[in-house]
Amino acid sequence: MSDVPHLFHSLEHDEPFKTCLTCEQDFCDISDPYTVTKVYKGPECVFEYAMCLPCRRSMVETFSEESRKNMQNFFDKNPHIEERSERIGESQNHTDWMQDCATCRTPLSEIQDYSIACMGFGSDMVYDPFPMMVCHNCEQKIQSRLSKPTRDQWDKFILDHFDGPPSEVLKPDGVPVLV
């Protein structure tokens, strides 16, 4: 583990995320890890949040069984995920883990739109399989496997937690992936 790098700090507050988006518990006061997710459109971060694992699990449980199974299959059947862990090994340099898409290995230098995610525990970042970057093309492959009820559930999550209509918060062509 190492400190959560600045890349995964809140752009809105210019500091590390401190609380869970949904339950608002302070990450330093809970015994659970949390994830930070950011979505980039070109060089601009257009969406960011941090969520403790229990809240993340609760949200995923609201997704349809079909969508959960399809998402799990996508990651389980992807040979790059396991190979990535073997290739990067014990590195605790977050840039090593995000140099290419976790699911297709396209180099970050060749990608315009993407999502990044890390797992934190208190003020530390946990490695393997996080941190990770997923390119827009792979996000689209994952999103194509989501049922309409799951996409509707994601829209509700956005409306419940962010200002503005979903079209202003989300990328125009889909929902951010919950990596």
45-59 pLDDT, tens digit per residue, is 988 999 999 999 999
Question: What's the pLDDT score for residue 164?
Answer: 58
Higher pLDDT, 159 or 43: 43
Residue 150, pLDDT > 80, answer yes
**146-160 b/e (C-beta count within 10 Å ≥ 16 → b):** beeebbebbbebbee
Domain residue limits at 34: 2-169
Q: What is the pLDDT of residues 66-95, one digit of tens each?
A: 999 998 888 888 888 888 888 888 888 898
> Any idea which of 39-48, 116-125, 150-159 has the lowest mean pLDDT?
150-159
Q: What is the pLDDT of residue 167?
A: 45
- Write down the pLDDT at residue 1: 65
Q: What is the DSSP letter of 19?
A: B
pLDDT of res. 178: 52
User: What DSSP string runs through 129-146?
Assistant: S-SEEEEHHHHHHHHTTS
- Whether residue 53 contacts residue 130, with contact meaning beta carbons closer than 8 Å, is answered with no
Per residue in 15-36, pLDDT (tens digit) is 999 999 999 999 989 999 999 9
Tokens of 174: 């889909």
178 domain-assigned = no
CB of 134 closer than 8 Å to CB of 179: yes
pLDDT band at residue 134 under the 50/70/90 scheme: very high
Cα–Cα dist 96/5, whole Å: 13
CA dist 141 to 107, 146, 162, Å? 18, 9, 25
Cβ-based neighbours of 82, under 8 Å, separated by 6 or more = none
For residue 179, being part of any structural domain is answered with: no
Number of domains in the chain: 1
Residue 87 lies in a domain: yes
Q: Kindly state whether residue 174 falls inside one of the protein's structural domains.
A: no
